[in-house]
Structure 1
Amino acid sequence: MTVIHVPGSKSVTARALFLAAAANGTSTLVRPLSSDDTEGFAEGLTALGYAVEPGPEAWRITGRPAGPAATDADVYCRDGATTARFLPTLAAAGARGSYRFDASAQMRRRPLAPLTEALRTLGVDLHHEAAEGHHPLRIEAAGIKGGELTLDAGQSSQYLTALLMLGPLTAQGLTITVTDLVSAPYIEITLAMMRSFGVEVTRGGPGDTVFTVPPGGYRATTYAIEPDASTASYFFAAAALTGSEVTVPGLGQGALQGDLRFVDVLRRMGAEVHMTTDATTVRSTGGLRGLTVNMRDISDTMPTLAAIAPFASGPVRIEDVGNTRVKECDRLEACAENLRRMGITVTTGPDWIEIQPGTPRPTEITTHGDHRIVMSFAVAALRTPGITYDDPGCVRKTFPRFHEVFAGFADLLNG
Structure 2
Amino acid sequence: MTVIEIPGSKSVTARALFLAAAADGTTTLRRPLASDDTEGFAEGLLALGYGVEREPAVWRVEGRPEGPAAPEADVHCRDGATTARFLPTLAAAGSRGTYRFDASAQMRRRPLGPLTAALRALGADLRHQGAEGHHPLTVAARGVEGGALTLDAGESSQYLTALLMLGPLTRKGLRITVTDLVSAPYVEITLAMMRSFGVEVRREGNVFAVPPGGYRAADYAVEPDASTASYFFAAAALSPGREVTVPGLGAGALQGDLRFVEVLGRMGADVRVGADATTVRGTGRLHGLTVAMRDISDTMPTLAGIAPYAEGPVRIEDVANTRVKECDRLEACAENLARLGVEASTGPAHIAIRPGTPRAAEIATRSDHRIVMSFAVTGLRTPGITFDDPGCVRKTFPGFHREFAALRAAWETGRPAPGALPGTAGAR
Query: Aligning the two structures, in what range does the TM-score lie when normalised by the shorter sequence?
Result: over 0.9
Match of 2:229 among 232, 250, 255: 232
SS where residue 280 of structure 2 aligns?
A: strand
SS where residue 44 of structure 2 aligns?
A: helix
Pair 1:213 & 2:204 matched: no
Equivalent in the alignment of 1:330: 328
Equivalent in the alignment of 2:19: 19
Equivalent in the alignment of 1:345: 343
| Distance in structure 1 (CA, Å) of the matches to 2:157 and 2:289 | 26
Query: How far is 1:276 from its partner?
Result: 1.0
Q: Is the 8 Å Cα contact of residues 361 and 386 (structure 2) preserved in structure 1?
A: yes
Query: How far is 1:164 from its partner?
Result: 0.1
| Distance in structure 1 (CA, Å) of the matches to 2:61 and 2:187 | 23
Pairs within 5 Å for 1:382-397: 382-397=380-395
> Structure 2 length as normaliser, TM-score?
0.96
Pair 1:67 & 2:64 matched: no
Q: Residue deviations 1:187-220, cap 9 Å, x none?
A: 000000000000000001xxx1000000000000
Residue identity in the other structure for 1:2: T
SS where residue 284 of structure 2 aligns?
A: coil
Q: Residue deviations 1:333-389, cap 9 Å, x none?
A: 000000011111111100000000000001000000000000000000000000000
| Distance in structure 1 (CA, Å) of the matches to 2:176 and 2:67 | 22
SS where residue 29 of structure 1 aligns?
A: strand
| Total equivalences in the alignment | 412
Equivalent in the alignment of 1:84: 84
| Distance in structure 2 (CA, Å) of the matches to 1:40 and 1:221 | 22
Match of 2:412 among 400, 405, 414: 414
Query: How far is 1:56 from its partner?
Result: 1.1
Pairs within 5 Å for 1:103-122: 103-122=103-122
Q: RMSD of the alignment, in Å?
A: 0.4
Q: Unpaired runs of 5+ in structure 1?
A: none
Q: Is the 8 Å Cα contact of residues 334 and 344 (structure 2) preserved in structure 1?
A: yes
Percent same amino acid at aligned positions?
77
Q: Residue deviations 1:1-26, cap 9 Å, x none?
A: 00010000000000000000000000
Query: How far is 1:307 from its partner?
Result: 0.6
Q: Residue deviations 1:314-335, cap 9 Å, x none?
A: 0000000000000000001000
| Distance in structure 2 (CA, Å) of the matches to 1:183 and 1:16 | 19
| Distance in structure 2 (CA, Å) of the matches to 1:232 and 1:286 | 20
Runs of 4+ in structure 1 displaced over 2 angstroms?
none
Equivalent in the alignment of 1:359: 357
Equivalent in the alignment of 2:7: 7
Pairs within 5 Å for 1:48-63: 48-63=48-63
Q: Residue deviations 1:235-271, cap 9 Å, x none?
A: 0000000111110000000000000000000000000
Match of 2:260 among 247, 259, 262: 262
Equivalent in the alignment of 2:377: 379
Q: Residue deviations 1:19-57, cap 9 Å, x none?
A: 000000000000000000000000000000000000111
Pairs within 5 Å for 1:282-361: 282-361=280-359
Query: How far is 1:286 from its partner?
Result: 2.5
| Distance in structure 1 (CA, Å) of the matches to 2:136 and 2:189 | 28
| Distance in structure 2 (CA, Å) of the matches to 1:249 and 1:408 | 18
Equivalent in the alignment of 1:163: 163
Residue identity in the other structure for 1:236: F
SS where residue 74 of structure 1 aligns?
A: strand
SS where residue 209 of structure 2 aligns?
A: strand
| Distance in structure 1 (CA, Å) of the matches to 2:116 and 2:142 | 16
Query: How far is 1:284 from its partner?
Result: 1.6
Equivalent in the alignment of 1:133: 133
Q: Residue deviations 1:126-178, cap 9 Å, x none?
A: 10000000000001110000000100000000000000000000000000000
Q: Is the 8 Å Cα contact of residues 270 and 283 (structure 2) preserved in structure 1?
A: no
Query: How far is 1:72 from its partner?
Result: 0.4
| Distance in structure 2 (CA, Å) of the matches to 1:140 and 1:286 | 58
> Structure 1 length as normaliser, TM-score?
0.99
SS where residue 148 of structure 2 aligns?
A: strand
With 277-286 and 395-404 compared, the bigger mean Cα shift is at 277-286
Equivalent in the alignment of 1:279: 277
| Distance in structure 2 (CA, Å) of the matches to 1:270 and 1:375 | 22
